[in-house]
Structure 1
Amino acid sequence: MNDRYTVISADCHAGADLLDYRPYLESRHHEAFDAWAATYVNPFEDLMAPEADRNWDSDRRIAELEADGIVAEVVFPNTVPPFFPSGSLTAPAPTAEEFELRWAGLRAHNRWLADFCAQAPGRRAGVAQILLGDVDEAVREVRWAKSAGLHGGVTLPGAPPGSGLPELHSRVYDPLWAVCEELEVPVNHHAGTASPPLGDDPASRAVFMVETTWFSHRALWHLLFGGAFHRHPRLRLVLTEQGSGWIPGVLDMLEYYHGRLVRAAPGTAGTLTAEAKFGAGLAETMGRGPKEVWQENCFVGASFMRPHEAPLRHRIGLDKIMWGSDYPHDEGTYPYTREGLRAAYAGLPPGEVAAMVGGNAARVYGFDLDLLDPIAARVGPTAEEISEPLQEPPRDATSPAFAVGGAPRVW
């Protein structure tokens, strides 16, 4: 019996080198791309040489992940696609022409990603990008992504205040939920894509850090109260790189408001008149309550689970948690994934650890464990190794995996 864990990172990032996107654009966009690329300024330190090629060098990537004990990965975007000024899922473009170009850039990334995943068959689940400003185009891209083998699903942009987009609870997005349900495409909502622009002074950066996860969490209650899971009961939502310790408390809060508003609905015995207008029609829109929806439809890409979160695993749902390394980001666990897993999971039952570090991700994203287990038998961390408590973190580790409650652990 294999005593090594099959580790699947549910949160990694990749993208093409800038000029390598050009062949994936329609030729009519090449002139515009050349002009854009000539003035492009890289906004991200982790895209600077000599580490940038971790994003697109397939052989280097496999070697480093295997050295870290990881056999497969869910691949979110990282590099900036053509025609975007910064991150790929910023507020909608200001003009129709630029919006068209940005769609062209996302399609180029998705097509590059399909080829990149094909270089490591069965070991990469690519996550396609879409924009919400054209739902019909988003639906077409989801269908293309599924046919191209990007079984990581789709990354759902946020609709931050000021974006001009309908809120995520709007029924305008029903065609998108419908196609994702039909094709069994996971809808991933990654942290950092839902915050409004705040500026770049010290206060703005601090406020961003305080608020960014809250803005990311909003997708959960928007889809829940908006009835998306009621109308599309097989829709799956994955909340990635938002931590996991917040989930039990938020579910309790959502249950409280749900019960309070449903009880306040007109015609309900004991109606609270002052709140009746808020609860009108909610039960019919939502169907099931928040905790039941969570158990049936939702998952968490817990990059990376911290030691204080592991004791909450049964309240979160042991079958909901998918660990992630956040490779190749500086805050990721590489090259100390084994130590990060020890910090979070030492002393837990091996079957539970196996589910959180790989089994759940295999089920949600369709990885073939018969393919991956033999690789894990060669490179995966052993159950004995992960069961050993971490006495102190590696001295040069930069990952929040080695923190407790948001503060550095006292070792």
Structure 2
Amino acid sequence: MRFISADDHVIEHPEVWSRRLSKQKWGDRIPHLEHQADGSDCWMIDGVKHRLLSNGSVGALMADRGAEPRAWSAIPQTAWAPAERLKMLDAAGIDYSVLYPTIAGIAGETFGAIRDPELELDCVRAYNDWLIEEWAACSSRFIPQCIIPLAPVDAAVAEIKRAVARGHKGVIMPPVPRHLRDLPHINDGYYDPIWRTCEELAAPLCFHAGGSPELQMPAYERFSPAIAAAFDAIARPASAVPIVSNLIVSRVLERFPNLNVVFADTSLGWISFALEATDYEFEQFGVSEQIPYELKPSEAFRRQCYVVGWYDQANLRRACEYPGAANILWAARLPMADSSWPDSLSGGEASLQGLSEQTRAQVLWRNAAALYKVG
């Protein structure tokens, strides 16, 4: 059985920005590593200090999955070197790997918070170019996805077109941009040019859970890094519910019927609740009588949306029935601490045990192959 992992992450090398941004123009505002007196490293981005890595970002590569590297030298090469990552794909039985960022923010939100649009754009373009020049150039088995600047919207549209022309297969953005800057609500027509461009280029729009952490309850500050990472992973899926509801209520899916939307790192248990609840409340509150909707919320979702699972068992079987196997993608979640590595393919096949060969193929690779136009 083939396997396309629909949610893996790269760890960006420090040279991504130092080699591509003008030192003369931007100076120390360029994203770079700084060595601390205690021996640890941190990122400095536009004068703001950021942790070297968020909890659990490379846990699958560590002897202790709860361990957090404190210095760049402690991060295994497999996290940031594409040739080494290919060996990991081979060992896990993965044919293709869909890539999301880490340092740039799992949805590009780190750069979305930069208030200088010119610096934001330069940082975004550097990441997008690096992913093509280093990862996609290493192997066609890596499926690159671009991040975008959030303002002005015409810069986002131009970058999507440029990035897709270079080989990017998907478009990643934070689900709640207004949490980052003074920007309109995601329902606002301000974003229509982005939806339209993704639709015209047949590039799926990808929302990664955790990309707008304000949608989640924060972890208790006295939690250990391992407990905080586990808490965050448990809480993240629920953040997808308001995003789905917003896309439906604002009629984004209806107005852009060929726009595909991916909800990554959400697992599958939430989706039946979200769709059943939205259908029910739409009917109870007479929403469709106030604003004519062509489809029920669940029907619009089935037509255009995908959710990504990786550990689900009982929830996978339920999701294959509702909304249906055609809406499910599977992932290994490399190299995250909650990755199914090293049993990614065998674990996926075990979760699908007893389901039809067609359903198993849909979930493990066919849906992703059609969405990203590979294989």
**2:159 partner SS:** helix
Aligned partners of 1:12 and 1:328 also within 8 Å: yes
Q: Does 1:6 align with 2:6?
A: no
Deviation at 1:194, TM superposition (A): 1.9
Which stretch of the first structure deviates more once superposed, 227-236 or 19-28?
19-28
Deviation at 1:30, TM superposition (A): 5.5
Deviation at 1:29, TM superposition (A): 4.3
Q: Does 1:348 align with 2:348?
A: no
Deviation at 1:44, TM superposition (A): 3.3
The whole-number CA distance in structure 2 between the counterparts of 1:113 and 1:343 is: 33
Q: Does 1:159 align with 2:166?
A: no
Residues 85-135 of structure 1, C-alpha deviations (whole Å, 9 max, x = no match): x984159536x43x5323322221111011133334431211111243432
Q: Does 1:334 align with 2:344?
A: no
Aligned partners of 1:15 and 1:109 also within 8 Å: no
Match of 1:143 in 2: 161
Match of 1:400 in 2: none
**2:359 partner SS:** helix
TM-score (norm 1): 0.74
Deviation at 1:19, TM superposition (A): 2.5
Q: Does 1:21 align with 2:17?
A: yes
Correspondent of 1:321 among 328, 344, 347:
328
Deviation at 1:211, TM superposition (A): 4.5
Residues 282-318 of structure 1, C-alpha deviations (whole Å, 9 max, x = no match): 22xx432212201211111223433442243121211
Q: CA 1:72/1:100 → structure 2, altered by over 3 Å: closer, same or farther?
A: same
Map 1:225-304 to 2 at 5 A.
Answer: 225-262=249-286, 265=289, 280=290, 282-283=291-292, 286-304=293-311
Whichever residue aligns with residue 96 of structure 2, its letter is A
**2:335 partner SS:** coil
Identity, % of aligned positions: 24
Match of 2:39 in 1: none
Q: Does 1:357 align with 2:364?
A: yes
Q: CA 1:263/1:133 → structure 2, altered by over 3 Å: closer, same or farther?
A: closer
Map 1:66-215 to 2 at 5 A.
Answer: 66-78=90-102, 80-81=103-104, 88-90=108-110, 92-93=112-113, 96-97=115-116, 99-151=117-169, 153-159=170-176, 162-163=179-180, 164-196=182-214, 198=218, 201-202=221-222, 211-215=235-239
Aligned partners of 1:7 and 1:69 also within 8 Å: yes
Residues 215-238 of structure 1, C-alpha deviations (whole Å, 9 max, x = no match): 233221111110112221111111
Q: CA 1:16/1:310 → structure 2, altered by over 3 Å: closer, same or farther?
A: same
Whichever residue aligns with residue 53 of structure 2, its letter is P
Match of 1:31 in 2: 27
Aligned partners of 1:11 and 1:324 also within 8 Å: yes
Q: CA 1:246/1:139 → structure 2, altered by over 3 Å: closer, same or farther?
A: same
Whichever residue aligns with residue 120 of structure 2, its letter is R
The whole-number CA distance in structure 2 between the counterparts of 1:258 and 1:341 is: 35
TM-score (norm 2): 0.81
Whichever residue aligns with residue 147 of structure 1, its letter is A
Aligned partners of 1:129 and 1:156 also within 8 Å: yes
The whole-number CA distance in structure 2 between the counterparts of 1:172 and 1:243 is: 30
Match of 1:57 in 2: 81
Which stretch of the first structure deviates more once superposed, 142-151 or 39-48?
39-48
The whole-number CA distance in structure 2 between the counterparts of 1:214 and 1:133 is: 27
Match of 2:47 in 1: none
Whichever residue aligns with residue 61 of structure 1, its letter is R
Q: CA 1:292/1:337 → structure 2, altered by over 3 Å: closer, same or farther?
A: same
The whole-number CA distance in structure 1 between the counterparts of 2:222 and 2:266 is: 22
Runs of at least 5 residues in structure 1 that lack an aligned partner in the other structure: 266-279, 369-411
**1:167 partner SS:** coil
Deviation at 1:11, TM superposition (A): 0.8
Deviation at 1:209, TM superposition (A): 5.5
Q: CA 1:360/1:257 → structure 2, altered by over 3 Å: closer, same or farther?
A: same
Aligned partners of 1:158 and 1:194 also within 8 Å: yes
Root-mean-square deviation (Å): 2.8
Which stretch of the first structure deviates more once superposed, 217-226 or 189-198?
189-198
Aligned partners of 1:302 and 1:322 also within 8 Å: yes
The whole-number CA distance in structure 2 between the counterparts of 1:68 and 1:294 is: 31
Correspondent of 1:220 among 233, 238, 244:
244
Aligned partners of 1:307 and 1:345 also within 8 Å: no
Deviation at 1:161, TM superposition (A): 7.1
The whole-number CA distance in structure 1 between the counterparts of 2:133 and 2:355 is: 38
**2:12 partner SS:** coil
The structure having more radius of gyration, on CA atoms, is: 1
Aligned partners of 1:325 and 1:332 also within 8 Å: yes
**1:169 partner SS:** coil
Match of 2:63 in 1: none
Q: CA 1:90/1:216 → structure 2, altered by over 3 Å: closer, same or farther?
A: farther
Aligned partners of 2:332 and 2:339 also within 8 Å: yes
Whichever residue aligns with residue 201 of structure 2, its letter is L
Q: CA 1:230/1:312 → structure 2, altered by over 3 Å: closer, same or farther?
A: closer
Runs of at least 5 residues in structure 2 that lack an aligned partner in the other structure: 36-42, 44-50, 59-68
